[in-house]
Copies of this chain bind each other. A is one copy, B any other.
Amino acid sequence: MTSQHLSTLSNSPIFRGLSTDELAKSLQEVGYQVKHFPPKVIVAEQGSACNFLMLILSGSVQGQMIDYSGKLIVIEELVAPMPVAPAFLYADRNEFPVNVVATSECCILFIAKSNFTALLQGHAAILQNYLTIISNRSKFLSNKIMFLNFKNLKSKIAAFLLQKQHEQQSLQLRLTETQQDLADYLGVARPSLARVLKEMKDEQLIEIQGKTVVLLNLAKLKQEAL
């Protein structure tokens, strides 16, 4: 393991708070492998058992899904120092949900599941970090599902804006995502999102100026977000 890789690893959310020395020592104790992949190579196959924690040391990989008709769907792009599918390592049927494919020259650290379990037991900080990572993901997902369950697009948007308002503590919201991103997140087509945003503007619920949204009528917005 190069010192470059070590410093990358210490920036990984899993090892946050550990010095590179502690990290190197822990990794030595527990055992690991570093593998190298050229671009376009399959790192892990959809459906195969997921018995290693995989951490990207350099380069990037993609989660790809080939649907039944053969069309390629990119689920997510992962770059160093992110862990690959940490929420699947300990699941009951721990198969990879996607093909993991190298999108550039990359190095990946493999730690066997049982060894990683030992690492978690020996290091409170790593345990906390790992639990936090998969818990956050779970929270993100259930949040997303909450949005998807709203009955129509206006409610989804209202709920989304109210959540932003809660986070930013202001009636004047600065959005970071494009309409396309937001449409994807809410599970609708982009023109549909634009149309309903316009409706809400016409109803004086909100005001839009570029990426700034001003909430004009909180009470009505809350009514919408049933």
Query: Measured between C-beta atoms, what is the minimum distance from A180 to chain B in Å?
Result: 15
A223 in contact with B148 (CB, 8 Å): no
Identify the A interface with B (CB < 8 A): 67-69, 71, 87-94, 97, 117, 120-122, 124, 127-128, 131-132, 134-139, 141-142, 144-145, 148-149, 162, 187, 221-223, 225-226
A7 to B: closest C-beta gap in Å: 24
Q: Is the interface of A mostly helix, strand, loop or mixed?
A: helix
A190→B13 CA distance, assembly (Å): 43
Closest Cβ neighbor of A141 among chain B residues: B141
Chain B positions within 8 Å of A142 at CB level: 87, 97, 141
CB atoms of B135 and A91 under 8 A apart: yes
Known contacts A131-B134, A141-B141, A145-B145; 6 further A-B pairs (Cβ under 8 A)? A68-B226, A69-B225, A69-B226, A71-B226, A138-B141, A141-B145
**A71 vs B155: C-alpha distance when bound (angstroms):** 14
B148 touches A187 (CB 8 A): yes
What is the chain B residue whose CB lies nearest that of A147? Answer: B148
B128 and A90 contact, CB distance less than 8 A: yes
Pick the residue among B94, B97, B134 that contacts A134 (CB under 8 A): B134
Q: How far is the CB of A1 from chain B (nearest CB, A)?
A: 25
Q: Is there contact, CB below 8 Å, between B138 and A68?
A: no
The minimal Cβ–Cβ distance linking A96 to chain B, given in whole angstroms, is 11
